[in-house]
Structure 1
Amino acid sequence: MIRDTRISTGYALQGAGPFTDKEYTREFGETELGRAKILVVGAGGLGCEILKDLALSSFKEIDCIDMDTIELSNLNRQFLFREEDVGKSKAEIASRFIKQVVKDVKIQAHFNKIQDFDMEFYRQFTLIVCGLDNIEARSWINKMVVDIAMQHTQYIPLIDGGTEGFQGSVKVMIPTITACFECYKQLIPKQTTYPLCTLASMPRLPEHCIEWAHQLKWPKLYPHTKFDADDPEHVTKMYRMSLQRAKDFGIEGVTKAKTLGVVKNIIPAIASTNAVIAAACCNEAFKFITSCNPNLENIMYYNGEVGVVLASDEYHKLVDCPVCGNRPREVVITTSQITVEQFANEYVKVRFSLVEPDIFYNGGDIYNFKNGNKEDNRLLVEVIPFEENSNDGQLHSKYQLIVVDKSLQNPLKLIVKLE
């Protein structure tokens, strides 16, 4: 058992480097490292490496979320698992293994989907590291941290790692400040699709045969049964249909592994690439928490297919990003005696040059301008709750207000501050 991880991190913290902030001290770095609470999303190929690196980098409190169970095919690269673990929760087994090796780390496992938790759960973390191969899940967690920043002015950095074969990338994202994951999505290659006419009449590749069985043959044979790529019996049937199709057209290369890869859109994973990208993710987490050295500016690319190419670059926010492009505007009011009608007219309509604004809060409308002939004398502080913001000690609206007006192309988001 490893009893003192400071042996490996002490050198990095012992003094300021050439680019470190002048106010940095070793004591500050050690204190921040000890009290940081890190969330790792994913306990697969990348996640296992990330958990190991974080624990060995003196992070004391880590949570891990993963909804998957361990499969036999995982064992060649997900080194925290053993054959007897097949069928068990990845998050639980990985966390248990780390706790057995590193004495003073506290790891909490969550055998859940990320969508099972609400905003308050995610707000408890200092930083989030993602080791996911699923674009939808990465988009979801990205929107969550952006929403937290917009609604609570709490900025939880998101470090995203991704690999594909001998290639990988690391992104360091500060919600609403740097480009978010949604801004990057246009750089992600689109999934390969095949014309139905080719699948039906003239297949040339093993992938054509598999997609024919997937898109055309399965719905015809099993019209009331949705294909489940996680069901071994379904996969076997799909493989046999694909293999027969390939034999009919003299095509070689259809295997059960390729069939599963095509229908699940599995990205090829190489253990060494996972190790490189996970190490970079954890280095960035360590630097951000301790301030011992400057962080990566946005994104790092690694390409091991043509020798070794390593480059970092700053990627700018998209102005029209649907997630982070429309930042909430802060509205400061100086009295708690303002009515909803006064707020709608004096603080919203006049300030933002609107026509007939409707104001919504937490899913319901608090002021409908079209029905504004009747006075709304309710006090604003009675309609929307306020909470003290830890950054400035002021009272802020707990959730953002949404303003809709015919003069606006997109809804206007407001955070109300009470002085």
Structure 2
Amino acid sequence: MAATLQPEGVARTLNGHPESEDSTTSPRWSHMNRLLSRQGAYTDPDEYEPGATPLNNISNSRILVIGAGGLGCEILKNLALSGFRHIDVIDMDTIDVSNLNRQFLFREKDVGSPKASVAANFVMKRCPGCTITPHVGKIQDKDEDFYMQFNVVICGLDSIEARRWINATLVSMVDMDNPDSLKPLIDGGTEGFKGQARVIFPTMTSCIECQLDMHAPRAAVPLCTLATIPRQPQHCIEWAHIIKWEEERKDIILDTDDPEHITWLYQTAIQRAKQFKIEGVTYSMTQGVVKNIIPAIASTNAIIAAACCNEAFKIVTSSAPFLGNPGQNNYMLYTGDSSVYTYTFEHQKKDDCPVCGNLPKGITLDPESTLGEFVESLAERPEAQLKKPNLRTEERSLYYSTPAGLEESTRPNLKRKVREILAEGEEFVVNDPSFPEVTLKYVVRYGT
């Protein structure tokens, strides 16, 4: 469908006659009009009213695209060519030479410019009827009023942390007395030849935090290797990330989306690499190691972006069943490494989800283990993945990684056995300053 649409405002004719620019009558949109002006094989006759209603919905809906990288470029193009007229895009990054092989909205002259601005201008130039508003900055800098403006939010992010933040924000925005406060979240992600598209209706369906265990935390490099005998450029970067940052900047929360923080890690890693005669440390590699970025493949981005935009089209127009209907499939996986194969399934909502659930999660601990061992395990626990956790019960603080004063006063607890400070059946909570919206609630169970 998208390939048949032409830029609006461009003078052209059909069979020798000028086209009308009316989106409901123009031959330019004939394929979309034909699709939306009749019942389909899968449409619900009680929910879908063919004709002007879905056409107006798609013209008037406001869509937010988070990320203007490999996925974001494809998503913006697809939305504009599918009839969406009001799009916003937010991204804090600038264009790097390494982006040009797959982020097709950018050219060599754009290197160093903000991705959001360049991508918006490129698409608007090719599709003048579409208005794309760029926002250069972090998603965390926007408040709830900003996100409340949109009908649908589409994520094309390369960061689990950013996904967790926007997911928690959209869940917290839901007001049961205001149906417009529920903003569907469409999330796309790629890992090499694999990818996923999922649709989340905050508080109604499984959210990203419910599904966090599907994103396995990366394997840790032994600290002894990082501290004494680094052999690879990645080891130098991890040393700067895990050890040197704690030594020199422990009072500052590391923001992996902040260019100043990445630059500091990069320069520190370079000095470490020179000391051990290791070559290959680059700024892009530093970003990749710290943010656990897996190299992207353009064809996978195109497939996943198409799936995300297809879901947005179905949600806005109700022209076909979409992922995310409660009780139905909400997760699509693409596995291109073994074949061109996709399948969908329903990821269940968890009652003990720290974002959208309301029940504590049972956790089995060895009573003879130390609190410090448990704190270290939180970085690799699939349901947590917290690097700087704070732990407390209702009555007392167990351990605070930040700020420095609280860390120093609670540090002795790290050496104590958990049975000395937590009773079986007792509740405690864990959070991380990087994710203030995420609070893990645990109930202690003792075992071996």
- TM-score, length basis structure 2: 0.65
Identity %: 48
Shift in Å, 1:191: 2.5
Question: Is there any run of 5+ residues in structure 2 with no aligned partner, and where?
Answer: 1-5, 9-25, 324-328, 360-426, 430-448
**Conserved? CA contact 2:88–2:134, under 8 Å:** yes
Between the aligned partners of 1:35 and 1:125, the Cα distance in structure 2 is 11
Query: What is the CA distance between 1:104 and its match in structure 2?
Result: 1.3
Partner SS state of residue 183, structure 1: coil
Within a 5 Å distance, the mapping from 1:216-231 to structure 2 comes to 228=260, 230-231=262-263
Equivalent residue number for residue 195 of structure 1: 222
**1:26 maps to 2:78:** no
Residue of structure 2 equivalent to 1:289: 316
CA distance in 1, matches of 2:277, 2:343: 42
The 5-angstrom pairing of residues 8-407 of structure 1 reads 8-23=31-46, 24=48, 25-150=50-175, 152-153=178-179, 154-201=181-228, 203=230, 207-212=234-239, 215=242, 228=260, 230-231=262-263, 235=266, 238-239=269-270, 241-242=272-273, 245=276, 254=280, 256=282, 258=285, 261-296=288-323, 297-326=329-358
Whether the aligned pair in 2 keeps the contact of 1:127 and 1:156 (CA below 8 Å) is: yes
Residues 12 and 240 (structure 1), Cα distance of their counterparts in 2 relative to 1, 3 Å cut: farther
CA distance in 1, matches of 2:250, 2:206: 44
Off by >2 Å, runs of 4+ in structure 1: 7-12, 150-154, 198-231, 233-247, 253-267
Encode CA deviations 1:25-46: one digit per residue, 9 max, x unaligned.
1332212112211111111111
Shift of the alpha carbon at 1:209?
Answer: 4.9
Instruction: Write the distance in 2 (CA, Å) between the matches of 1:217 and 1:177.
Output: 43
SS in 1 for 2:58: helix
SS, match of residue 89 in structure 2: strand
Query: In 2, Cα distance between the equivalents of 1:86 and 1:311?
Result: 38
Q: Which amino acid aligns with 2:226?
A: L
Counterpart residue number, 1:414: none
Which residue number corresponds to residue 387 of structure 1? none
3-state DSSP of counterpart to 1:147: helix
Answer yes or no: is the 8 Å Cα contact 1:209–1:246 preserved in 2.
no
TM-score of the two chains, using structure 1 as the length reference: 0.69
SS class of match (2:137): coil
What amino acid sits opposite 2:218 in the alignment? Answer: Q
Deviation, 1:21, is 0.8
SS in 2 for 1:321: coil
In structure 2, distance between residues paired with 1:324 and 1:312: 22
Q: Tell me which residue corresponds to 1:392.
A: none
SS of 1:39's partner is strand
State the SS of the aligned residue for 2:174: helix
SS of 1:276's partner is helix
CA RMSD of aligned residues (A): 3.1
CA distance in 1, matches of 2:210, 2:342: 22
Residue 196 of structure 1 deviates from its aligned partner by 0.9
- Structure 2: distance between partners of 1:164 and 1:323: 25
Q: How far did 1:236 drift?
A: 5.7
Paired residues of 2:157 and 2:189 also in contact (CA < 8 A): yes
Letter in 2 for 1:119: E
Q: More deviation in 253-262 or 311-320?
A: 253-262
Q: Distance in 2 between matches of 1:277 and 1:57?
A: 16
The structure-2 alpha-carbon separation of the partners of 1:287 and 1:228, relative to structure 1 and needing over 3 Å to count, comes to same
Q: What is the Cα deviation at residue 56 of structure 1? A: 0.3
Q: Secondary structure at the match of 1:191?
A: coil
Residue 2 of structure 1 corresponds to which residue in structure 2?
7
Cα distance in 2 for residues equivalent to 1:273 and 1:162: 9
Q: How far apart in 2 are the matches of 1:119 and 1:144?
A: 8
Checking the alignment, whether the CA contact within 8 Å between 2:240 and 2:268 is kept in structure 1 is: no
The 8 Å contact of residues 159 and 291 in structure 2, kept in 1 or not, is answered as: no
Return the alpha-carbon distance in structure 1 between the equivalents of residues 239 and 162 of structure 2: 28
1:379-405 deviation per Cα after TM superposition (whole angstroms, max 9, x unaligned): xxxxxxxxxxxxxxxxxxxxxxxxxxx
The CA deviation at 1:322 is 1.6
- State the aligned residue count: 324
* Partner SS for 2:43: coil
Distance in 2 (CA, whole Å) between partners of 1:214 and 1:323 is 28
Task: Tell me, in whole angstroms, the C-alpha distance in 1 between the residues paired with 2:318 and 2:187.
Answer: 19
User: Where does structure 1 lack aligned partners over 5 or more consecutive residues?
Assistant: 248-252, 328-407, 411-419
Q: CA deviation at 1:71?
A: 1.5
